[in-house]
Structure 1
């Protein structure tokens, strides 16, 4: 069974909480939301388990209620400034299992598939070399944490529109905690991630929501696309800027999404070779909520 749990909110020394199994835990160290806490005493050398999988090895004794950190997480906290790093030290190292080449087997390495008999799937053909989508959504994307509330309110106003449509799977909000600070060390990663939504084959349109006081703006995302993916045409997109009265920005965003509904719902599935199907083989590595909270796409 797991010997750590994920914090669902920021906690400080002395706070108490309960695991999903009813176990009461009292914190003896600060822990930011998304980081893990020991739910039992862990001895130096013991493996750390989350969701039944080993992800680390303790390099010192870890007490119940103590947050667990590797070097990367300590560095990330120090850069983010979310909580003080005073007293926070690395207490586990990543677990890297050793594999033998004898345990790897390649089945049918010379297999040739006849294109006429190849499996098919029903998907949405996207223009501009974006590929084939398996779903059809409109996304409202906050370009920074400062724009998150506006993006959420716009989505709440329009998400019901997809309920009665046959070909539009939904209208989803994409919000996050980054992009606000001018001196953040992860701006390139944020730009790369947000730019990916404009290239995503599961999207029919994207509304970008800017906040005038944030570091990351939609113009930065478009410039990133032109520099790194100039061979792919982005999805239909427009920008709403939060500057002054937020209600005006919300109304503008709602109207833009309304204007996209008919076109997005007109998309139709067609048959495509399975070779066109894109399957993600690597986790985004975002945080401990990966696998707990679902990707809206």
Structure 2
């Protein structure tokens, strides 16, 4: 295996694929360079002289500007690089996207067909509180159900607990309603009990208007203040739903029924080399099969947004993408926060220097497909193909937002590792083999073979697709085994 990788021919940095000691001679096509100091795995080394205020080039794009002169062989990171990003930009509609030329494979998976035509990859029984005040009662109902009834035919009994539903104003209150309404209709739930308190802002009567149509047989409502013993009444409803779900069976459905969320977190220098490009290749493949992928984390599009805008399906989608980007910048400014905040300490330790570097790696998860639609927070997927979704980069908030949009599964790439899981199956994909082996209790799939030298991208994409279909067919991910499942609803305003 090579010690380094130059991603694009015009790059003036290379990436260390393993720790490289000070004084090591690195052989390049253009000649040998001497590494000036110890370089950690995933970090960058200058291969050309870079003058102060010149651009650092990686992936063929600028990832920042030199704060000082950088000599050949020097470590290139936060100590000598600053962001090159600025305020709102002027964008022009210059479409460059091309249709994919990937053939259809007519693959299928075994899912649960729902009355509205959606397909679930899990058959779970959910209790969804309208307000955080009844989280405890919801958990008690779920615990008692498991002790009193055989639930072995159900994939899980899950409470989607949260702290909202009251003391919120304006957009926050609407976002909570939209999120919960979307969860209530999610195809991974074969039965849902919506549990209200009675005096909260998020009244069930108003929530029903937000839901629209629902399956009366599978979705039930209970207002705690209207009954003498809400746990007893809720348990009766859950038992009836449990009984109905005994008839549910997995059936063969086309792969085009999959709606997959794309997310990354705890990135490292390998994220844009292994796991994110793998997801991009998979995304293109699934879109070519008629399926759907959703890319989110808007702040982590900053600096790479033009790549997505060039692939907009129409001028209308282009304008929606511009609004997505500039609207999020306005949100930051409204809160008096910097727009181009540097990556987290874990990202920096892994070799990510600037936000544009992280963004250029992040958007690779969207592959090369045409962008067919742009979704607001809590909005359901309407159009197959690649979609963009309004959400911050926070791992649990963004993964939950993907679930609320209707994704049956979230693919989560990471170079640092994390044990969390959202309320839909959340596959953790390691960017490097060291992480995959070290945290085998967290990680589900290893993309590190792309730099270990034992896998080609085509081989790994096919292996990954087969594994994903196994998960869609019911095989459990690591966070499902540990039952680490949560939701996080986006909030931006005051709490009363």
Q: Which runs of 4+ in 1 moved over 4 A?
A: 94-97, 105-108, 160-164, 232-235, 283-292
Aligned-pair CA distance for 1:165: 2.1
1:121 to 2:112 alignment: no
**Separation of aligned partners in 2, 1:126 and 1:273:** 14
CA contact (8 A) 1:165 1:265 kept: no
Change (3 A) 1:110 1:144: same
Q: Give the alignment's TM-score, normalised by structure 2.
A: 0.34
Distance 1:183 1:135 in 2: 34
The aligned counterpart of 2:175 is 189
2:223 counterpart of 1:241: yes
Q: Does 1:223 align with 2:204?
A: no
SS in 1 for 2:126: strand
C-alpha distance in 1 between matches for 2:221 and 2:206: 12
| Cα pair 1:144 1:217 within 8 Å, conserved | no
1:178 partnered with 2:160: no
Equivalent residue in structure 2 for 1:109, among 62, 87, 100: 100
The unaligned stretches of length 5 or more in structure 1 are 1-93, 98-104
1:165 is matched with 152
Work out the CA distance in 2 between the residues paired with 1:95 and 1:159.
55
Equivalent residues in 2 for 1:1-297, closer than 5 Å: 109-113=100-104, 117-129=105-117, 131-160=118-147, 165-166=152-153, 168-181=154-167, 183=169, 185-226=171-212, 236-243=218-225, 248-280=229-261, 281=294, 282=296, 285=392, 287=394, 289=396, 293-297=420-424
Report the Cα offset of residue 292 of structure 1: 5.0
Could you tell me how far apart the structure 1 residues matched to 2:393 and 2:221 are? 25
Q: Deviations over 1:29-64 (max 9, x none)?
A: xxxxxxxxxxxxxxxxxxxxxxxxxxxxxxxxxxxx
CA distance in 2, matches of 1:163, 1:205: 15
Q: Structure 1 pair 286/240, CA: closer, same or farther in 2 (3 Å)?
A: farther
8 Å contact kept, 2:128–2:195: yes
Bigger drift between 144-153 and 269-278 goes to 144-153
- Secondary structure of 1:201's counterpart equals coil
Q: Which runs of 5+ in 2 are unaligned?
A: 1-82, 87-95, 262-293, 298-390, 398-417, 425-496
Question: With structure 1 as the length reference, what TM-score do the two structures score?
Answer: 0.55
In 2: Cα distance, 1:198 partner to 1:120 partner: 26
Deviation at 1:269, TM superposition (A): 0.4
CA RMSD of aligned residues (A): 3.2
CA distance in 2, matches of 1:96, 1:205: 47
Q: Kindly provide the CA deviation profile for residues 110-155 of structure 1, in whole angstroms up to 9, marking residues without a partner as x.
A: 2331xxx4111110111123x1110100100100111212212111
Structure 1 or 2: more helix by fraction: 2
132-141 or 260-269: which moved more?
Answer: 260-269
Find the counterpart in structure 2 of residue 23 from structure 1. none
Tell me the distance in 1 between the aligned counterparts of 2:236 and 2:84. 50
Distance in 1 (CA, whole Å) between partners of 2:242 and 2:196 is: 22
Size of the aligned set, in residue pairs, is: 187
What secondary structure sits across from 2:159 in the alignment? strand
Aligned partners of 1:294 and 1:148: how far apart in 2? 19
Whole-Å Cα distance in 1 between the matches of residues 203 and 152 of structure 2?
A: 32
Q: Partners in 2 of 1:96 and 1:134 — Cα distance?
A: 41
